[in-house]
Amino acid sequence: MIGIQLDSQGSVSVDELIRAIERSVRTAGASKRLRTLPKITRDVIQAVVATSDKRRFTLSPDGTRIRAAQGHSIEVSLGYAAKEPPAVLYHGTAWSNWTSIAVEGLTPRTRHAVHLSTDVDTATRVGARHGPPLVLVVDAAQMHSDGYAFTRSDNGVWLTELVPAAYLAPLGPHENLPTS
């Protein structure tokens, strides 16, 4: 979108990112909102990384490269080692997705992996972005025992390739489940 090239681990030079952002937001065709952004500097980038509520970004140890912690829509190798997950994880979605999830399970769709959280509150907030939230309980212990791999991103999000429907259950009362 702004003309940067990610490396195989999904990172880009902070300097390259700054140049690309500045190039994009300072053009005549950029929206007024973008054109009024403050000058992007290393300090601004570091502040974004430090204050992101979901800790979405990671800086390299030397501070010269940046990447998203997870959520890539392109193939990248994040280098996260496989880990044993907590017994139960949660996934937030909209109620309108339940019918297909009950059949297909959770798939990454346009993402690199299925994102799971360790707490109901986070899953509820994620699900609420798309309508009335549905929190799904994932039997991660059984999945792991059955050979499914899990990794954990730098910001604590658990990742897995897919969650078959057999390992899912809606949290709480089920009388409001859609039937079609």
Please report, for the domain that includes residue 160, its CATH number: 3.20.170.30
pLDDT in tens, 74-131: 555 566 778 999 999 999 999 999 999 999 999 988 777 899 999 999 999 889 988 8
The confidence score (pLDDT) of residue 50 equals 82
The answer to whether the predicted template modeling score (pTM) of the entire model surpasses 0.95 is no
84/7 Cα distance (integer angstroms):
28
Name the pLDDT band for 137 (thresholds 50, 70, 90).
Answer: very high
Task: Provide the angle, in degrees to the nearest 10, between the axes of the packed helices 42-51 and 14-25.
Answer: 100
Instruction: Specify if 73 maps to a domain.
Output: no
Domain identity same for 129 and 95: yes
What residue has token string 């059984």? 142
168/103 Cα distance (integer angstroms):
11
On the question of pLDDT at 10 being above 80, the answer is: no
The confidence score (pLDDT) of residue 89 equals 96
Instruction: Specify if 163 maps to a domain.
Output: yes
Domain identity same for 23 and 56: yes
Backbone angles phi, psi at 149, to 5 degrees: -95, 145
The confidence score (pLDDT) of residue 179 equals 47
* Average pLDDT of the residues in 10-17: 83
166/102 Cα distance (integer angstroms):
8
What residue has token string 């994102």? 115
Cα 27 to Cα 1, 17, 20, 36: the distances in Å are 14, 16, 11, 11
What residue has token string 């999945």? 143
Q: Which residues of 142-180 are buried (b: 16+ CB within 10 A; e: fewer)?
A: ebbeeebebbbbbeebbbbeebeeebbebbeeeeeeeee
Domain identity same for 115 and 161: yes
Name the pLDDT band for 18 (thresholds 50, 70, 90).
Answer: confident
Instruction: Specify if 134 maps to a domain.
Output: yes
Domain range holding 108? 88-170
Domain identity same for 93 and 166: yes
Quote the distance between the C-alpha of residue 89 and its chain's center.
Answer: 15
Domain identity same for 104 and 145: yes
Q: For 5-19, 72-86, 148-162, which range has the lowest pLDDT when averaged over its residues?
A: 72-86
The confidence score (pLDDT) of residue 79 equals 66
Domain identity same for 58 and 123: no
Name the pLDDT band for 54 (thresholds 50, 70, 90).
Answer: low
Per the structure, how many domains does the chain have?
2
Sign of the Cα torsion 33, 34, 40, 43 reads positive
For residue 139, give the 3-state DSSP assignment. strand
Domain identity same for 48 and 95: no
